[in-house]
């Protein structure tokens, strides 16, 4: 039985565990020289393109929920691309700016230089309710146990207030390997996973897309993963749990 996913054209797409994806990221950076900011840029731009696709508009208002790691950095990069194209963008952090990881902090500094500051705590609910779309970039595949603190509060508030949600890589609160949410989990209309889908995404509701972030196929070989190229002439494609060509 295929434990992975399928494209609309019937091409098989393998899935990975969170541990395997961490190893993919390590090999890509240490052995191939890909930089975290380079991959983050590709993720953020693809995420912005998914926002445009969902809204079917060239402008609108979007709120980005950003954590302190790579997932949050991708969301902040997306915020910049949307800002550059005339969207009204709100950024909500799950921690103080000084507590962001190095890559996410670098993305935030660019936004701040362009005049975008994180939303004050008292304006959080309004920034979730009034917008056209909320982008979830809080946790991703790095989840360890149930979400806690500000991240858990934002997930719960988003589930109550947000009109539509697009998640980056993995809906925040979902275990990327098991598909089990150990605590509160964000409800999404679409998820844009990165590089390869995570096995746990077989359990989600909503549409699932995968984005090319520039990782060469040879990066996957040490993990025993060799597969037919599936992106074709696109950088983002829709995938499914079943082979639609067999229906």
CA dihedral 52, 57, 60, 65 (to 10 degrees): -20
CA dihedral 96, 141, 71, 238 (to 10 degrees): -150
Q: For residue 245, what pLDDT is reported?
A: 53
Q: What mean pLDDT value characterizes the chain?
A: 94
What is the reported pTM?
Answer: 0.95
Alpha-carbon span 179 to 157, nearest angstrom: 22
Q: For residue 244, what pLDDT is reported?
A: 55
Average pLDDT of span 23-30: 96
Q: For residue 247, what pLDDT is reported?
A: 41
What percent of the chain lies above the pLDDT cut of 90? 90
Q: Residue 23, SS3? A: helix
pLDDT band at 2 (very low <50, low <70, confident <90, very high): very low
Q: For residue 92, what pLDDT is reported?
A: 98
- Which pLDDT tens digit goes with each residue over 48-70? 999 999 999 878 999 999 999 99
142-156 in b/e form (b: 16+ CB < 10 A) is: ebeeebeebbbebbb
Average pLDDT of span 165-176: 97
pLDDT band at 228 (very low <50, low <70, confident <90, very high): confident
* Structural domains in the chain, sorted by start: 5-241 (3.40.50.10260)
Nearest to 142 by CA among 110, 101, 81, 111: 101
Q: For residue 242, what pLDDT is reported?
A: 74
Concatenated DSSP letters of 205-226: -SEEEEE--S--GGGGGGGT--
- Which pLDDT tens digit goes with each residue over 131-161? 999 999 999 898 889 999 999 999 999 999 9
- Which pLDDT tens digit goes with each residue over 84-106? 999 999 999 999 999 999 999 99
């Amino acid at each position: 039985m295929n434990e992975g996913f399928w494209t609309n054209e019937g091409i098989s797409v393998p899935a990975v565990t969170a541990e395997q994806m961490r190893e993919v990221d390590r090999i890509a950076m240490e052995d191939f020289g890909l930089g975290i900011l380079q991959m983050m840029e590709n993720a953020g731009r693809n995420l912005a393109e998914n926002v445009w696709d969902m809204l079917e508009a060239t402008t609108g208002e979007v709120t980005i929920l950003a954590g302190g790691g790579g997932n949050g950095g991708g969301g902040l990069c997306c915020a910049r691309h949307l800002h550059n194209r005339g969207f009204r963008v709100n950024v909500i952090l799950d921690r103080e700016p000084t507590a962001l990881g190095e890559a996410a902090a670098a993305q935030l500094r660019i936004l701040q230089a362009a005049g975008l500051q994180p939303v004050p705590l008292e304006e959080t609910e309004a920034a979730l309710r009034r917008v056209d779309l909320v982008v979830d970039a809080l946790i991703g595949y790095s989840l360890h146990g149930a979400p806690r603190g500000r991240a858990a509060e934002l997930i719960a508030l988003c589930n109550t207030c947000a009109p539509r949600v697009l998640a980056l890589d993995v809906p925040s609160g979902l275990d990327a390997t098991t598909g089990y949410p150990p605590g509160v989990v964000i409800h999404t209309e679409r998820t844009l996973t990165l590089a390869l889908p995570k096995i746990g995404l077989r359990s989600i509701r909503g549409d699932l897309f995968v984005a090319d972030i520039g990782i060469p196929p040879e990066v996957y070989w040490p993990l025993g993963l060799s597969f037919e190229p599936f992106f074709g002439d696109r950088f983002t494609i829709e995938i499914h749990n079943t082979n639609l060509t067999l229906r």
